[in-house]
Amino acid sequence: MTSLLPRPGMGLPDIFQMFETEWPFGERHAMRIETYAEKDEFVVRCELPGVDPDKDIHINVEGNQLKISAERKHEERTERHSEFSYGSFSRTLLLPTSCNTEDIKAEYEAGILTIRMPRRETEARKEIPVMRKGK
């Protein structure tokens, strides 16, 4: 699972990135994404060329998770060589607590799915007093 918050750099190759870029087991593939924060919103962009956005892309919010799934259907061809990935693609992202999940918008253009999530007004910090038990 990926977070919208950046991971600290690592000296060794990022093991998580290896699993995010290729899923070698079965017909499920990880989609390539980029995430960033702007002044008023969080943005997720996904590479999904050749996917029908009206039928084959699904975006759900469950608790603090954004789940994106898509399917690229295999077309029968007489040629045998293909480097395309077909089947199901999915990604789950942890959302920051300041993300307003009520006003998420998604658009698809030129093979790129862009999801914009506005930031919620953050509440002021509040000090909680500690009471002594029995006093």
Reported as a single tens digit per residue, the pLDDT across 17-42 is: 444 444 444 555 678 999 999 889 99
Q: According to the model, what pLDDT value does residue 43 have?
A: 96
Share above pLDDT 70 across residues of the chain, in percent, rounded to a whole number: 76
Task: Find all residues with CB under 8 Å of 112, minimum gap 6, and list them.
Answer: 45, 46, 47, 48
103 pLDDT above the threshold of 60: yes
Q: What is the mean pLDDT of residues 58-74?
A: 93
3-state class percentages of the chain: helix first, strand second, coil last, to nearest 5: 5, 40, 55
Q: According to the model, what pLDDT value does residue 21 have?
A: 44
Helix (H, G, I), strand (E, B) or coil at 11: coil
Would strands 2-3 and 87-94 be described as parallel, antiparallel, or unpaired? parallel
Rg of the chain taking only CA atoms, in angstroms: 20
Q: What is the mean pLDDT of residues 118-134?
A: 84
**62/131 Cα distance (integer angstroms):** 36
Q: According to the model, what pLDDT value does residue 4 have?
A: 60
13 pLDDT above the threshold of 80: no
Q: According to the model, what pLDDT value does residue 114 have?
A: 97
Question: How far does Cα 78 stand from its chain's mean position?
Answer: 35
**93/53 Cα distance (integer angstroms):** 20
The overall average pLDDT reported for the chain is 81
